[in-house]
Amino acid sequence: MELQNLTHVSEFLLMGLSEDPVLQPFILGLFLCMYLVTILGNLLIILAVSSDSHLHTPMYFFLSNLSLADIGFITTTVPKMLVNIQAHSKSITYAGCLTQVSFFFLFGCLDSLLLAVMAYDRLVAICYPLHYLVIIKPHVCGLLVLVSFFISLLDSQIHFLMISQLTFCTNVKIPNFFCDAPQLLHLACSDTSIDDILIYFTGAIFGGIPISGILYSYTQIVSSILRIPSTGGKYKVFSTCGSHLSVVCLFYGTALGVYLSSAVSPSPQKSLVASVMYTMVTPMLNPFIYSLRNKDIKNALWRIINRIA
C-alpha cells in the first residue's frame, strides 16, 4: 500500500441494516420499540428484585446485575444507529467507534461471566443445598460480580488498545450498524496477523472459560438430579434452572451464530441478521424469559402494579 493511500481517519461509516430509504422509517420504528421494550423489561426486573424482600437472594442479585449488563450492552450500539437513521447520516467518529468497541466487549464479556456465576449458584443450590448459605454469602456474591466486572474491563481494554494501534486506509465503510472489532481489522492497512491471533486468544479465554464453567455446572446438576427417585422431584429441582438455561442457550447460540456465519459464509446480510439477534433480540427476551417462567418475579411485579394502581 502506497503512503499516499493512507490517511488519518477521523470517522467511520456505519452502513447499517439497509441502504433502501423506503425501509429506513420501518427500521427506525422497529428498533426503537425493541430498544424501549428491552430497557423497560430489564428495569422492571431490577425494580422487582430491589423492592421485594422475598427476592433478596443471591440468584436474584445476580439476575439484577445481568439486567444492568443487558441495558449497557444494547445501549452501546442501538442509540447511535437510531440517531444516524433519524439524521440520515452514517458517520461515527473515530473516538466514538473506539468507545463503542470498548463498551461492547465490556458488557458482552460481563454478560457471559454473570451467566457462568449464575450457573455456579444453581450448582451449589442443587448439589449442596445444606451448605448453600455458608458458601454463597452476601459478600461472596458481591465479590463474584466485582471480579466479573474487572475481568470484563480487562477484556474491553485489550480490544480498545488493539484497535487504537491500527492504521486505516481511505476505505472506512463498516458493513454493520456498530463498530465490530473483526470488521475493523479487515479495514486496516497495517499488518493484523498478531491482532487476529489476539482476537482468537482472548475469545478462547474470556469466552471459553465461562462456557466451560457453565457446562461443568450443568453436568454436575444433571448428575445430581438423576439421583432423585421421583419424577416430580426431578422436574421441581430442574425447573429452578429452566430460565437460566434458556438464557444461556439464547445468548451463546446467537453469539456463536455471529462468528460461525462470518467464518462459513462471507455474506454481509447473514452476519447482520446474526448481529441483530446477538446484540438486540437476546437482551430484549431475557426479562420475558425470567418473568414468564418465574413465579417469584411475576408475583413481585404484580405487587408493584397493585401498589401503583
User: 295-308 vs 282-293: helix axis angle to the nearest 10?
Assistant: 90
pLDDT at 253 over 70: yes
Residues 6+ apart with CB under 8 A from 162: 181, 195, 198, 199
Q: What is the mean pLDDT of residues 235-258?
A: 77
Cell (9 digits) for 86: 433519524
Residue 257 belongs to domain spanning: 11-302
Q: Chain-centre distance of CA 54, in angstroms?
A: 27
Q: Chain-centre distance of CA 203, in angstroms?
A: 14
Neighbouring-strand partners of residue 14: 174
Confidence band, pLDDT 50/70/90 cuts, at residue 271: low
Residues 6+ apart with CB under 8 A from 110: 69, 72, 148, 149, 152
pLDDT at 257 over 80: no
pTM: 0.89
Mean pLDDT of the chain: 85
Whether 4 maps to a domain, the answer reads no
Provide, rounded to the nearest whole percent, the portion of the chain with pLDDT above 90: 39
Q: Are 82 and 31 in contact (CB under 8 A)?
A: yes
Q: What is residue 258's predicted lDDT score, i.e. its pLDDT? A: 62
The DSSP secondary structure of 108-126, one letter per residue, reads HHHHHHHHHHHHHHHHHHH
Q: What is residue 180's predicted lDDT score, i.e. its pLDDT? A: 86
64, amino acid identity: S
Q: What is residue 8's predicted lDDT score, i.e. its pLDDT? A: 63
Give the span between the Cα atoms of 103 and 75, in whole angstroms. 9
Q: Are 270 and 24 in contact (CB under 8 A)?
A: no
Confidence band, pLDDT 50/70/90 cuts, at residue 281: confident
Whether 3 maps to a domain, the answer reads no
Provide, rounded to the nearest whole percent, the portion of the chain with pLDDT above 70: 91
Give the span between the Cα atoms of 178 and 159, in whole angstroms. 15
Neighbouring-strand partners of residue 173: 13
Whether 290 maps to a domain, the answer reads yes
Q: What is residue 268's predicted lDDT score, i.e. its pLDDT? A: 60
Question: Starting from the edge strand earliest in sequence, which strands make up the sheet with 91-93, in order?
Answer: 91-93, 11-14, 173-174
Whether 114 maps to a domain, the answer reads yes
pLDDT at 267 over 70: no
CATH number at residue 133: 1.20.1070.10
Whether 144 maps to a domain, the answer reads yes
Report the DSSP pairing between strands 91-93 and 11-14. Answer: antiparallel
Q: Are 123 and 221 in contact (CB under 8 A)?
A: yes
Which single residue is written with the C-alpha cell 480487562? 154
Whether 308 maps to a domain, the answer reads no
Confidence band, pLDDT 50/70/90 cuts, at residue 2: very low
Domain count, the chain: 1
